[in-house]
């Protein structure tokens, strides 16, 4: 059954389905209950499942995330919402030293069916402390899985898959995507949680994005198509693990790769992707893998400066043309 849903509604639907199916699923976080969630993701669940399973917490990120870790160790399936990724800095001990380590350092004795939902990214003039990406920080922690849905359909699928997983999953939700709309088929068989999706086929170069930048890459590809440039667009959908096969198959066909990330450029998510593609596809690359990334600067409050600090569609098309070089001139 396919419906048009907003991104937050798709997440809400996924939570509802999982909570109805399994009593061990419970939700906790700041204002997830009575208030309904800062981005409405938990709307209606408090009334339906009660306060014990939709738990409003005090503002104590490290301890309520750690509460999720402890509950997961004894077979519960907690879904922790950290209001924004910026506040997840306070919970890094529970995420990095706890959730990611316990299954391993116990010699595999404990499962960690924990989901940590984290809104993030640069939204609209929220300033430096509320406008960070930080995905590369979580990518660098073995034992954590990181999913980055860009569409309502993926938000629905990947949250359900994350809840079903016995490993800790960080679900990075982009704040500007919550009110985007798209078709959600609740009956269809989802692809594997970490498989990348080819959003648009093309032969001239591969644009690689995730979360919001996957949508920007599609816009850029549409614009490039007007000039006869056929860009392939890959939506990674997951940052740990990364679907290297889909990526390298594409790059081996197009011979050029451009990574678009909202993470800061220095040691960002794109650095890993570019380095790995250079290792895997060196002999089929016609040019070095390039990145369009956020500037290495805290996000300015000023709206124009904020917009200039992260990738824009025009930056992507310009970088794509530069990457194509003489070939692009020939076409023109």
Partner 1 sequence: MEREKMHRLLRDMMLSRVFEERAAEEYQKGNIVGFLHLYPGEEAVAAGVINAAGPSDYIVSTYREHAHALVRGVPPRAVMAELFGRATGMSGGMGGSMHMFDRERRFMGGYGIVGETYPIAIGIGYAIALRALPESVICFFGDGAVNQGTFHESLNMAALWRLPVLFVCENNHYAIGTDIHRHSAVPEVYKRAAAYNIPAEKIDGMDVLKVYDATRHALDRIRRAGGPQFLEFETYRYRGHSMADPGAYRPPVEVKAYQVIDPLTIGAREIEFRYPTPAELAAVGPDNIARLTEHMISVGHLEEEEVAQIRKEVEAAVEDAVQFSLASPQPTMADAWQHLNSNRRHEQLLQA
Give the shortest CB-73-to-partner 1 separation in angstroms. 6
C-alpha dist (Å) from residue 87 to 132, 166, 178, 264: 10, 24, 19, 18
Q: Where do contacts with partner 1 occur on this chain (CB under 8 A)?
A: 26, 52-53, 55, 57-58, 60, 62-76, 78, 93-94, 97-98, 101-113, 142-143, 165-167, 192, 194-195, 241-245
Give the separation between CA 313 and CA 315, rounded to whole angstroms: 5
Angle among Cα 187, 189, 192 to the nearest 5 degrees reads 140
Give 108 or 326: the residue with its C-beta nearer to partner 1.
108
Give 143 or 300: the residue with its C-beta nearer to partner 1.
143
Which residues neighbour 117 within 8 Å (Cβ) at sequence distance 6 or greater? Answer: 11, 29, 41, 79, 80, 81, 82, 159, 171, 173
Give the separation between CA 21 and CA 276, rounded to whole angstroms: 40
Give the shortest CB-166-to-partner 1 separation in angstroms. 4
Tell me whether residue 174 is one of the annotated catalytic residues: no
Tokens of 35: 């208030």
Tell me whether residue 61 is one of the annotated catalytic residues: yes
Catalytic residue (choose from 18, 130, 175, 272):
130
Query: How many secondary structure helices (H) and strands (E) does the chain include?
Result: 13, 14
By CB neighbour count within 10 A (0-12 exposed, 13-18 middle, 19+ buried), where does 51 fall? exposed
Give the shortest CB-78-to-partner 1 separation in angstroms. 8
Give 62 or 186: the residue with its C-beta nearer to partner 1.
62
By CB neighbour count within 10 A (0-12 exposed, 13-18 middle, 19+ buried), where does 5 fall? buried
By CB neighbour count within 10 A (0-12 exposed, 13-18 middle, 19+ buried), where does 108 fall? exposed
Angle among Cα 237, 202, 308 to the nearest 5 degrees reads 60
Largest Cα–Cα distance of the chain, in whole Å?
Answer: 65
Give 63 or 125: the residue with its C-beta nearer to partner 1.
63
Give 114 or 177: the residue with its C-beta nearer to partner 1.
114
Give the shortest CB-68-to-partner 1 separation in angstroms. 6
Give 68 or 202: the residue with its C-beta nearer to partner 1.
68
Give the shortest CB-160-to-partner 1 separation in angstroms. 13
Give the shortest CB-100-to-partner 1 separation in angstroms. 10
Whether the ω angle into residue 241 lies within 30 degrees of 0, i.e. cis, is yes
Task: Assess contact for 165 and 103: CB atoms under 8 A.
Answer: no
Catalytic residue (choose from 18, 61, 81, 135):
61
Give the shortest CB-103-to-partner 1 separation in angstroms. 5
Give 6 or 88: the residue with its C-beta nearer to partner 1.
88
Length of the chain in terms of residues written? 332
Residues classed as catalytic: 61, 130
């Amino acid at each position: 059954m396919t419906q048009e849903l907003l991104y937050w509604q798709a997440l809400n639907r996924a939570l509802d389905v999982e909570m109805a199916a399994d009593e061990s699923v419970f939700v906790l976080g700041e204002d997830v209950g009575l208030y309904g969630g800062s981005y409405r993701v938990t709307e209606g669940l408090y009334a339906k499942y009660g306060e014990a399973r939709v738990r409003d917490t005090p503002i104590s990120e490290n301890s309520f995330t750690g509460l999720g870790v402890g509950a997961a160790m004894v077979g519960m399936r907690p879904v922790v919402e950290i209001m924004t990724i910026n506040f997840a800095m306070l919970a890094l001990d529970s995420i990095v030293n706890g959730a990611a380590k316990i299954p391993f350092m116990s010699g595999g004795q404990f499962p960690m069916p924990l989901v940590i939902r984290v809104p993030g990214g640069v939204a609209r003039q929220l300033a430096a402390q509320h406008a960070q990406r930080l995905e590369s920080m979580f990518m660098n922690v073995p034992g954590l899985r990181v999913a980055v849905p860009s569409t309502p359909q993926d938000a629905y699928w990947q949250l359900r898959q994350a809840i079903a997983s016995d490993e800790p999953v960080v679900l990075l939700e982009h704040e500007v995507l919550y009110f985007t709309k798209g078709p959600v088929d609740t009956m269809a068989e989802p692809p594997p949680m970490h498989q990348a999706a080819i959003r648009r086929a093309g032969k001239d170069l591969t644009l690689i994005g995730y979360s919001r930048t996957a949508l920007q890459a599609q816009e850029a590809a549409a614009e490039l198509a007007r000039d006869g440039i056929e860009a392939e667009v890959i939506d990674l959908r997951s940052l740990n693990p990364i679907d290297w096969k889909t990526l390298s198959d594409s790059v081996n066909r197009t011979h050029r790769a451009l990574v678009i990330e909202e993470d800061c450029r220095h040691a960002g998510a794109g650095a890993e992707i570019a380095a790995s593609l250079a290792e895997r596809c060196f002999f089929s690359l016609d040019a070095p893998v390039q990145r369009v990334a956020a500037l290495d600067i805290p996000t300015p409050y000023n709206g124009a400066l904020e917009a200039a600090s992260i990738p824009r569609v025009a930056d992507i098309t310009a970088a794509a043309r530069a990457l194509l070089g003489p070939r692009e001139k020939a076409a023109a």
